[in-house]
Structure 1
Amino acid sequence: MASRFKLALIQICTQRYREHNLKKAEQMIREAARNGASVVVLPEYFTCWMDPKYFIEYKELPDGPTSTMLSRVAKETNIHLFGGSFPEEIPNSDKLYNTCHIYGPTGELTQRFRKLHLFDVDLGPGMSIRESELNVAGDKLTVVNVAGCKTGFGICIDLRYPEIARLYGNMGCQMLTYMGGFSMKTGPSHLEILQRVRAVDNQVFVANVGPATNTEAPYVTYGHSGVADPWGNMIAKTGSDEDIVYADIGQYNCFLVLYLDHPCFCC
């Protein structure tokens, strides 16, 4: 990595109304920047509750209120801003994308990532989720270079696919950033394990940020945002409440060297 930087994960407690969430996100972004973070990440669907009803109510085009706020704040705070995700309207369609916009320190939109895999699953009574009924999957990987650190992106269930992480690793990424609102059913069992495995397998930092736990929401998220280093250690993490997680990226210079393109037999 070319240089060291401070990463901040914004674990916002998403509320019913978008206006409230945008205002709260801006406050927390500014706090992270004041505390020295040069790269700030928001969680999946930070603009609205995770439910098709609210996705439809708060869908927006790429130049909507969410993008306008993120661009302005990135410029005013001089940071790289990975803008969580919002329900992106597809013109002339009743379907949506789950979209992340990535902004540079001058407020320019540098990249866009759309969630690649849709979450169709039965987790028990009252927990049948069919994202494919409303959403369309993205079709490309997204890489940005921040402070000499190539970073790849995923959203939520994308973390479960080792092939994505391997592709990013082969593209030279040193950090993977996921914005994932894991459920109270899957989060306690899988979230940290998945982060640590992706980190060790590909010798990268792996960050995941989700919304804080809000029991009033129709879909209750687990929170527990954190960062795993290439050795598989969780170097920063939090619990279920609203919080900002900070991690220094680039200070770990001794990696396990694996030749991932060849068979490997390790002890």
Structure 2
Amino acid sequence: MAFKAAAIQMCSGVDPEKNAADVARLVREAAAHGATYIQTPEMTGFLQRDRKAMRAVLRDEAGDIIVSTARSLASELGIHLHIGSTAIAVDGGKIANRAFLFAPSGRQICTYDKIHMFDVDLDNGESWRESSAYEPGSEARVAGLPFGKLGFAICYDVRFPQLFRSEALAGAEILTVPAAFTRQTGEAHWEILLRARAIENGAFVIAAAQGGVHEDGRETFGHSMIVDPWGKVLASAGGTGEGVVLADIDIAAVAAARGKIPNLKNAREFSLDAVPDAAGEVAA
């Protein structure tokens, strides 16, 4: 089955209401170009490094403006709308980095909570500790949709190929990586990681991204991208600012790629033998 997909690039600020208005405008633009599956980036609702200020605008699912806006848009436009993620208040005082998928009826199909926390120390003093505020997810997810099976991930998840392999083995034909990649890591790894996940699983990859300098001072890499199962970049955005990336998706290309290189079928179980360290040995 063929359909048109869109990846929405944003530069979300600290005000959820403004970001919701931007989502509505950009999603309508994508739908006007014929997109029936539309994905927004990680942290669509707001990007805010100040944790106190963040909690002041944080809401649960029932009260979140991005969730209500997305539900209405999906129904109004008759599309599948995938909110790449937004911050949601959960029990225990923590936050979920949660994706939402809505049907053309406006029904919420499912959610996915980011599994891998971005706890890193980069060059030039850039440091992040997502686990200090966010509750990691523990469940991978594949949703069966009219046009194909969709596997979920968020941003840092892209560095864990076992997640994508498990979804591909469960039938996922489209893998998703909405993100807010830092400029530093994006310049080094963004495209190659997306193309690798597509190639090794014989699947489409759709990755809507944040791009630009945000109100809270962070800088994200942008370059929202759609990649085919052979690793070809079908469409890509620039590095800064908002935009809509569109591509025609023919799900038959998944079976074709997996037929040429059936690595999902050819994988074998194996054991690992860790040879004792021989570094101290001296030749006779």
Q: Structure 2: where are the runs of 5+ without partners?
A: 269-284
Greater helix share, 1 or 2? 2
Alignment of 1:162-177 (within 5 A): 162-177=161-176
Q: Structure 1: where are the runs of 5+ without partners?
A: none
Task: After superposition, give the CA deviation of every residue in 1:120-168 in whole Å (9 maximum; x if it has no partner).
Answer: 0001334110111111101111111233310101000001101001001
Structure 2 Cα separation of the partners of residues 27 and 170 of structure 1: 36
Letter in 1 for 2:9: Q
Who is 1:154 aligned against? 153
Query: Do 2:148 and 2:174's aligned partners in 1 also have CA atoms closer than 8 Å?
Result: yes
Q: Which moved more, 1:254-263 or 1:240-249?
A: 254-263
Secondary structure of the corresponding residue to residue 191 of structure 1: helix
Which structure has the bigger radius of gyration? 2
Identify which of 41, 44, 53 aligns with 1:43: 41
Who is 1:228 aligned against? 227
Who is 2:237 aligned against? 238
Secondary structure of the corresponding residue to residue 26 of structure 2: helix
Structure 2 Cα separation of the partners of residues 114 and 137 of structure 1: 7
The Cα shift of 1:57 comes to 2.9
Structure 2 Cα separation of the partners of residues 100 and 52 of structure 1: 22
The Cα shift of 1:13 comes to 1.8
Query: Do 1:55 and 1:87's aligned partners in 2 also have CA atoms closer than 8 Å?
Result: no
Who is 1:26 aligned against? 24
Structure 2 Cα separation of the partners of residues 154 and 263 of structure 1: 22
Aligned residue pair count:
261
The Cα shift of 1:212 comes to 2.0
The Cα shift of 1:97 comes to 0.7
Query: Do 1:44 and 1:156's aligned partners in 2 also have CA atoms closer than 8 Å?
Result: yes
Alignment of 1:1-267 (within 5 A): 3-53=1-51, 54-64=53-63, 65-91=65-91, 93-214=92-213, 216-240=215-239, 241-250=241-250, 253=253, 254-255=256-257, 256-263=260-267
Name the TM-score, length of structure 1 as normaliser.
0.93
Query: Do 1:52 and 1:134's aligned partners in 2 also have CA atoms closer than 8 Å?
Result: no
Structure 2 Cα separation of the partners of residues 252 and 236 of structure 1: 19
Who is 2:277 aligned against? none
Change (3 A) 1:235 1:143: same
Structure 1 Cα separation of the partners of residues 56 and 194 of structure 2: 32
Structure 1 Cα separation of the partners of residues 208 and 142 of structure 2: 18
Change (3 A) 1:52 1:249: farther
Q: Which moved more, 1:13-22 or 1:40-49?
A: 13-22
Secondary structure of the corresponding residue to residue 264 of structure 2: coil
Q: Please give the root-mean-square deviation of Cα atoms over the aligned residues, in Å.
A: 1.6
Letter in 1 for 2:67: S
Secondary structure of the corresponding residue to residue 185 of structure 1: helix
Task: After superposition, give the CA deviation of every residue in 1:26-77 in whole Å (9 maximum; x if it has no partner).
Answer: 0111111111000000100011124252532332111122211110111000
Query: Do 1:48 and 1:58's aligned partners in 2 also have CA atoms closer than 8 Å?
Result: no
Change (3 A) 1:146 1:153: same
